[in-house]
Amino acid sequence: MKRVRAISLFSGGLDSILATRLVMAQDIDVVAVQFVTPFFHYDILANVEQHRRDMLEKYGINVMVQDISEDYIKLLHNPAHGFGKNFNPCIDCKIMMFEKAREMLGELQASFLISGEVLGQRPMSQRRDTLNLIERDSRTRSLLLRPLSALLMPETEAERAGLVDRSQLLKMNGRSRSPQLALAARYGITDFPAPAGGCVLADPILSRRIKEMYRVDSGLSSSKISVADIRSLLLGRQFILPGGGWLIVGRDERENGMLHDLAQPEDAVLLMEDWPGPTAVLKRISERYADSAALEDDLRNVAAIVIRLGRKRPAGKKEAEVSCTLGEKKELFIAEPLLDELFYDWRLS
Structural domain includes residue 96: yes
Q: Are residues 113 and 138 in the same domain?
A: yes
Instruction: Write down the pLDDT at residue 313.
Output: 79
**E strands along 48-175, which residues?**
63-67, 112-115, 144-145
Q: Are residues 89 and 144 in the same domain?
A: yes
Q: Write down which residue in 131, 155, 187 finishes a domain.
A: 187
Structural domain includes residue 194: no
**287-346 confidence digits (pLDDT tens):** 888 889 999 999 999 999 999 999 887 777 889 999 999 988 999 999 999 999 989 899
Q: Write down which residue in 132, 162, 187 finishes a domain.
A: 187
Q: Are residues 127 and 259 in the same domain?
A: no
Give the span between the Cα atoms of 13 and 46, in whole angstroms. 19
Q: Are residues 212 and 160 in the same domain?
A: no
Q: What is the pTM of this model?
A: 0.88
Q: Are residues 149 and 23 in the same domain?
A: yes
Q: Are residues 124 and 247 in the same domain?
A: no
Q: Are residues 183 and 224 in the same domain?
A: no
Give the span between the Cα atoms of 198 and 106, in whole angstroms. 30
Q: Are residues 227 and 172 in the same domain?
A: no
What is the CATH classification number for the domain harbouring 98?
3.40.50.620
Give the span between the Cα atoms of 299 and 134, in whole angstroms. 47
Structural domain includes residue 195: no
Q: Write down which residue in 153, 187, 221 finishes a domain.
A: 187
Q: Can you give the residue range of the structural domain that contains 280?
A: 204-346
**187-216 confidence digits (pLDDT tens):** 999 988 877 667 999 898 889 889 888 875
Q: Are residues 152 and 21 in the same domain?
A: yes
Q: Are residues 272 and 298 in the same domain?
A: yes
Instruction: Write down the pLDDT at residue 213.
Output: 83
Structural domain includes residue 215: yes
Q: What is the 3-state secondary structure (H, E, C) of the chain?
A: CCCCEEEEECCCCHHHHHHHHHHHCCCCEEEEEEEEECCECHHHHHHHHHHHHHHHHHHCCCEEEEECHHHHHHHCCCCCCCCCCCCCCHHHHHHHHHHHHHHCHHHHCCCEEEECCCECCCCCCCCHHHHHHHHHHHCCCCCEECCCCHHHCCCCHHHHCCCCCHHHCCCCECCCCHHHHHHHHHHCCCCCCCCCCCCHHHCCCHHHHHHHHCCHHHCCCCCCCCHHHHHHHCCCEEEECCCCCEEEECCCHHHHHHHHHHCCCCCEEEECCCCCCCCEEEECHHHHCCCHHHHHHHHHHHHHHHHHHCCCCCCCCCCEEEEEEECCEEEEEEECCCCHHHHHHHECC
Structural domain includes residue 198: no
Q: Are residues 146 and 216 in the same domain?
A: no
Into how many domains does the chain fold?
2
pLDDT tens over the chain, length 349 residues: 689 999 999 999 999 999 999 999 999 999 999 999 999 999 999 999 999 999 999 999 999 999 999 999 999 999 999 998 899 999 999 999 999 999 999 999 999 999 999 998 875 667 889 999 999 999 999 999 999 999 999 999 999 999 999 999 999 998 888 999 999 999 999 988 877 667 999 898 889 889 888 875 555 555 678 899 899 989 999 999 999 889 999 999 999 999 999 999 999 999 999 999 999 999 989 888 888 999 999 999 999 999 999 988 777 788 999 999 998 899 999 999 999 998 989 998 6
Q: Are residues 213 and 335 in the same domain?
A: yes
Structural domain includes residue 324: yes
